Amino acid sequence: MTALFFFGTLRHRPLLEIVLGQTGHLAITAARLPGFEVRAVGPGVFPALCPQAGAMAEGLLVQGLSDGDLHRLDYYEGGFGFALRPVVLAGGQAALCYFPQPAPEVFGPRWDFAGWQRTHAEMSCIAAREVLGYLGTKEAGEVAQMFPTIRARAWAQINARAVRHGAGTLDGRVDVRARRRSYAKFFALDDFELSHERFDGAMTPVLSRACFIGTDAAIVLPYDPERDCVALVEQMRVGPLARGDARRWQLEPIAGRIDAAETPEATARREAQEEAGIDLTDLHPVAQCYASPGSSSEFFYVFVGLADFAGQGGAIGGLDSEHEDIRTHVMPFADLMSLCEGQRAANAPLVMAAYWLAHHRHALLRSGDALVRDKATR
């Protein structure tokens, strides 16, 4: 049996129980490690031990770990480059502890366990269930590459609780008999065996269904009321390619995945800068909707965002790290409506945002006139 010292997220008992599968056979007590401080690394929510004279890292001592427990822990931690090293705790207790390999070159501020529990613990538990679900079918390194998407899928489950739609619909019973993940990488595909309540109160027979498991996404149509223009982006899309569409490059609003613990508004602003170099001012909500609820969990937060297009148009943007090759088009509002009314816009959120803009445009134009007057008086 082995003893480990946990200083970071696995101090959260629900997460520890998910990773280990069970904890009833273990002795778990509070412990401290002298000579180290728990500091943030990466984007700031991941902890690591930083050597610090006179410091004391708080944590848990878990004793009685079996080889099976260690296998699950190594699978969860090992894909991120963490490896076990021996440590001596305050009071002389010997234990093992996970350290990043290699050690980070730069540590962030002191890691806030209580703050992490408030903002990330529930999402991390959901993500950990998916990670451990791949044990025996995927290598730890492959799961580590998927982890940002796994966390985004977990965040979507939390967002789903704050629904604004569905008033007047049946709040019926759904019995999920089986759910199997048939594919998982950047996206996932789940097969369901389920039965659901009918409108007459009876239950359906067991049905076989499949669902594309996506993430939540923020979509924004930038609009410059001073120039009465919109900005669209163009890029190659695999959906039209797979369908056999003659046009694989598509005109779209700006869009991107809502990352873990990120708001839709923050995503819209980030993606506008990454894809087109556009800084948005006011964001106007257009819709919160499923892309295709009969077959996909993907959920859209759609906005029109106000911006200044001075110097915009024709620029190539996107992140090299994501192999994005994106061209920006600035066009008059009238040209956008010509595309939509002529059924030459093939992107549903674009058409939705365009007709919202058509309905609210005069009010936004008045805001643009006010901006022009303000600039003239400076």
Q: Is the dihedral of CA 180, 46, 254, 228 positive or negative?
A: positive
Percent of the chain with pLDDT over 90: 85
259 or 371, which is more confident: 259
Q: What is the spatial distance between Cα 82 and Cα 74, in angstroms, rounded to a whole number? A: 8
Using the predicted structure, report yes or no on whether residue 371 has a pLDDT greater than 70. no
365 or 312, which is more confident: 365
Two tokens, residue 48:
């690591």
Using the predicted structure, report yes or no on whether residue 75 has a pLDDT greater than 90. yes
pLDDT of residue 312: 65
pLDDT digits (tens, 9 = 90+) for 316-348: 777 777 778 899 999 999 999 999 999 999 999
Reduce the DSSP state of residue 291 to 3 states and report it. Answer: coil
Which among 375, 374, 241, 356 is positioned nearest to 304, based on CA atoms? 356
Q: How many CA atoms lie within 13 A of 111 on its CB side?
A: 28
Token pair 């700031």 is found at 44
pLDDT of residue 44: 67
Q: What is the value of pTM for the model shown?
A: 0.91
pLDDT of residue 314: 57
The architecture that CATH gives domain 216-376 is: Alpha-Beta Complex (3.90)
Reduce the DSSP state of residue 169 to 3 states and report it. Answer: coil
Percent of the chain with pLDDT over 70: 96
Average pLDDT over residues 346-368: 93
Residue 373: which residues within 8 A CB-CB, separation 6 or more? none
pLDDT digits (tens, 9 = 90+) for 38-57: 999 877 678 999 999 999 99
Topology of domain 2-135 in CATH is Hypothetical upf0131 protein ytfp (3.10.490)
Q: Which residues are catalytic?
A: 322
pLDDT band, very low/low/confident/very high, at 163 (cuts 50, 70, 90): confident
pLDDT of residue 369: 59
Two tokens, residue 370:
């006010």
| Structural domain spans, the chain | 2-135, 216-376
Reduce the DSSP state of residue 354 to 3 states and report it. Answer: helix
Does residue 102 have a cis bond before it (omega within 30 degrees)?
A: yes
Q: What is the spatial distance between Cα 8 and Cα 25, in angstroms, rounded to a whole number? A: 21
pLDDT of residue 374: 54
73 backbone dihedrals φ, ψ, rounded to 5°: -65, -45
pLDDT digits (tens, 9 = 90+) for 260-294: 999 999 999 999 999 999 999 999 999 999 999 99
Tell me the residue length of the chain: 378
Contact 271, 255 (CB under 8 A): yes
Q: What is the spatial distance between Cα 155 and Cα 158, in angstroms, rounded to a whole number? A: 5
Residue 131: which residues within 8 A CB-CB, separation 6 or more? 75, 76, 143, 147, 150
Q: What is the spatial distance between Cα 64 and Cα 25, in angstroms, rounded to a whole number? A: 7
pLDDT band, very low/low/confident/very high, at 180 (cuts 50, 70, 90): very high
Lowest-pLDDT choice from 24-33, 46-55, 96-105, 286-295: 96-105
Using the predicted structure, report yes or no on whether residue 373 has a pLDDT greater than 70. no
Q: What is the spatial distance between Cα 340 and Cα 193, in angstroms, rounded to a whole number? A: 39
Residue 116: which residues within 8 A CB-CB, separation 6 or more? 9, 12, 45, 47
